[in-house]
Structure 1
Amino acid sequence: MSCYKLKQHSIFIHPRRIAVSDILELAREKALEKGEGLNQAEVLQILELPDEKIPELMELAHQVRLKWCGEDVEVEGIISLKTGGCPEDCHFCSQSGLFESPVRAVRLDIAELVEAAKQTAKTGATEFCIVAAVKGPDERLMKQVGDAVAAIHSEVDINVAASLGTLTREQAQRLKDMGVHRYNHNLETSRSYFPNVVTTHSWDERRETLEFVREAGMEVCSGGIVGMGETPEQRAEFAVQLAEADPTEVPMNFLDPRPGTPFQHMEVMSAEDSLRAVGAFRLAMPKTTLRFAGGRELSLGDQGTEQGLLGGINAIIVGNYLTTLGRPMEKDLDMMDRLHLPIKALNSAV
């Protein structure tokens, strides 16, 4: 039995709370000075900080990421190899074939993927992620991804990542052998809240895929979406469960309610709660790459995005997402230049 299975049934008991000033001082001592993540109770107190403490939280989170991750910002572009028609019922996702959403199934060919990788590399991005809306890859998709990775590597100097759903141990090893260096499989939310978000597969299935990815020697990328109706306690639980999974990268998405999905009428997360989540996740994972992903434009806007990049975030997806529009990549690159945030250079030839 994996060690995570021994932890996941633990009961969260509220310890004695400490003062607001004390929780920030404790966070400074643990996360900044020692590089240790906050525990679940401590993360919860960060998530409950009053609005007037957000600037102090952002400054502390920024210091933590500078000390333990450096000043560079990693830029990534993503593209969907197969969009729509997914058999799963993730309640936030317009790619599910079970919902009456406007997204319909589309596949790209290899030449289109190579061209997209070239355009991504021109922005200075070091990462290009191939995504498919599937429960898990069948043999046809595995072969197509292998052909795409080989074609991209032959023409573009960029790292290739993939996100193809649930994997077997053998599939994870094949992807590694193909040249995929990082695999994304989001836990999406806390284990306790997961049944409210997905019913066609379990949180444990997702967690097991992360173990196969790690065993194969690929970097683990796993994050999720905040603002899906979870409580602050469950948001804190999620941050700590991600920390226990020890991913290289954590994409932070903010719910963008999509038409036709069960979450279409949910309220957009406030900028204040979004920034508290950014700070809390950084303090829970001081040494992890924390990437701005979908929904930041809606929850945070331009000003909030800048605050996040100066408040713990050290990676960003540029351009459009899978089914939603992002900001023009030139706008994000101009923003990072204005904030004097250097873009991470590609440090390995692929």
Structure 2
Amino acid sequence: MTEEAYFNLAKTIIQGNTPDSTQFAKIAHLTDDKVFELFPGANLIRSTYFKNQIHLCTICNGKSGKCSEDCTFCAQSRFHKTDVETYPLLSKEKLQQPALDLKNTQVTRYSIVTSGKGLSGKEINRVSEAFSEIKDLPLCYCASLGIITEDDFNLLARSGVTRYHHNLETARSHFNNICTTHTYDQRIETIKAAQKAGLSVCSGGIFGLGETDDQILEMALELKCLDVDAVPLNFLSPIPGTPMEHQSKLTPLKCLKIIALFRYVLPEKEIIICGGREANLGMLHPFIFYAGASGILTGNYLTTGGRQLEKDLNMLNQLELTPR
């Protein structure tokens, strides 16, 4: 396909037509030297649904380390020997403070993220109380607390949480290669339970785990089927002490192709670029928006340093994009 063909494909998508999987497969298998051909179409889709506005969100690592799960990429797993800081669930005040610090910034969503397969009932209550006491702030709230119950979701919703984050992480066909302590179906069931409670869902994954191009597309199509609302895309930053410590980083162009593929497959969904964006994209980092990204996670990530809000705002200003 040519650049013009991809642009015409984008126009067809905007008109409400869903291409068959063979069209998406052509994007997934595109060689790096052809990636820029995807940009006019991907940018057209993004600007059609999101204009020139870019979503900004940030997270708090509310509980760190000693995770019972064996995800091969994660510094927080108790199965791996890493230098990650470990601590139990923070106090209500410490969970709330980052949200209070966002006053007069242009960040619009704040999320509390915790390590572990899931939280206990007592821990869920603390997180819910923390949200409830600050729900009048001009922020939207998200939680990422692992696999929890329907009652827990309902409690979070009553506390002012409007979105739940729970990644698929990778394609079903690759999942057992990166995690054996819980199943892919458990992740899908958690997403559906959050949706049943009336929460919007943020679900994506991490790339650079040895997945194939077909598996990247497989995950995108799974998320389309689940009808999630936002899709966070992370790129592996190999962490010493994990099984992935010697894994090569993705090329910047491969990262951009992944973003563009997700934009073509999920035209109206929020696509948020998160962990590893600077480390993997390097000088091509600003191109994420032309590849179709409509949001970024700003500030620090869970166990790796992120990018200062001021730098992200300056980048958006130079690109004549507006934070939302």
TM-score, length-scaled by structure 2? 0.95
1:305 pairs with 282, 285, 289, which one? Answer: 285
SS at 1:65 equivalent: helix
1:120 CA drift (Å):
2.9
1:28 CA drift (Å):
2.4
Q: Sort the Cα spacing of 1:125 and 1:35 in 2 relative to 1 into closer, same or farther, 3 A.
A: farther
Question: 5 Å matches for 1:320-339?
Answer: 320-339=300-319
Contact 1:36 1:286 in 2 (8 A): no
1:36 CA drift (Å):
4.2
CA deviation vs aligned residue, 1:2-33 (integer Å, no higher than 9, x gap):
xxxxxxxxxxxxxxxxx45686256224323x
1:165 pairs with 140, 146, 170, which one? Answer: 146
Amino acid at match of 2:308: P
Contact 2:164 2:194 in 1 (8 A): yes
1:38 CA drift (Å):
4.3
Q: Report the Cα distance in structure 2 between the residues aligned to 1:53 and 1:157, rounded to whole angstroms.
A: 42
1:138 pairs with 120, 123, 133, which one? Answer: 120
Contact 1:61 1:312 in 2 (8 A): yes
Q: Report the Cα distance in structure 2 between the residues aligned to 1:69 and 1:196, rounded to whole angstroms.
A: 36
Amino acid at match of 2:127: V
Amino acid at match of 1:147: E
Q: Report the Cα distance in structure 1 between the residues aligned to 2:163 and 2:17, rounded to whole angstroms.
A: 24
- Residue 277 of structure 1: aligned partner: 258
Q: Report the Cα distance in structure 2 between the residues aligned to 1:296 and 1:35, rounded to whole angstroms.
A: 30
1:262 pairs with 236, 243, 260, which one? Answer: 243
- Residue 120 of structure 1: aligned partner: 102
Q: Report the Cα distance in structure 1 between the residues aligned to 2:233 and 2:18, rounded to whole angstroms.
A: 17
1:227 pairs with 183, 202, 208, which one? Answer: 208
Question: 5 Å matches for 1:204-219?
Answer: 204-219=185-200
CA deviation vs aligned residue, 1:39-91 (integer Å, no higher than 9, x gap):
44322211222334322311210100111233211100100110111101111
Amino acid at match of 2:132: A
**Which deviates more from structure 2 when the two are superposed, residues 320-329 or residues 118-127?**
118-127
**Which deviates more from structure 2 when the two are superposed, residues 53-62 or residues 219-228?**
53-62
CA deviation vs aligned residue, 1:122-175 (integer Å, no higher than 9, x gap):
331110000000211211211110121023225x32111100001222221121
Q: Report the Cα distance in structure 1 between the residues aligned to 2:77 and 2:276, rounded to whole angstroms.
A: 18
Amino acid at match of 1:61: A
Indicate the percent of aligned positions where both proteins have the same amino acid.
35
Unaligned runs of 5+ in 2: none
1:235 CA drift (Å):
0.9
- Residue 347 of structure 1: aligned partner: none
Q: Report the Cα distance in structure 1 between the residues aligned to 2:187 and 2:18, rounded to whole angstroms.
A: 23
1:82 pairs with 63, 66, 75, which one? Answer: 63
CA deviation vs aligned residue, 1:276-313 (integer Å, no higher than 9, x gap):
10100000000000001001111102x32210122210
Q: Report the Cα distance in structure 2 between the residues aligned to 1:46 and 1:317, rounded to whole angstroms.
A: 25
Q: Sort the Cα spacing of 1:69 and 1:160 in 2 relative to 1 into closer, same or farther, 3 A.
A: same
Contact 1:76 1:126 in 2 (8 A): yes
1:69 pairs with 41, 50, 62, which one? Answer: 50
**Runs of 4+ deviating beyond 6 Å:** none
Q: Report the Cα distance in structure 2 between the residues aligned to 1:296 and 1:281, rounded to whole angstroms.
A: 16
SS at 2:323 equivalent: coil
Between the two proteins, the alignment pairs up a number of residues equal to 323
1:110 CA drift (Å):
1.9
Q: Report the Cα distance in structure 1 between the residues aligned to 2:232 and 2:3, rounded to whole angstroms.
A: 29
Q: Sort the Cα spacing of 1:174 and 1:35 in 2 relative to 1 into closer, same or farther, 3 A.
A: same
Contact 2:169 2:205 in 1 (8 A): yes
Unaligned runs of 5+ in 1: 1-18, 345-350
- Residue 98 of structure 1: aligned partner: 79
- Residue 198 of structure 1: aligned partner: 179
Q: Report the Cα distance in structure 1 between the residues aligned to 2:18 and 2:254, rounded to whole angstroms.
A: 20
Q: Report the Cα distance in structure 1 between the residues aligned to 2:151 and 2:19, rounded to whole angstroms.
A: 35
SS at 1:319 equivalent: coil
Q: Report the Cα distance in structure 1 between the residues aligned to 2:279 and 2:20, rounded to whole angstroms.
A: 29
TM-score, length-scaled by structure 1? 0.88
- Residue 322 of structure 2: aligned partner: 342
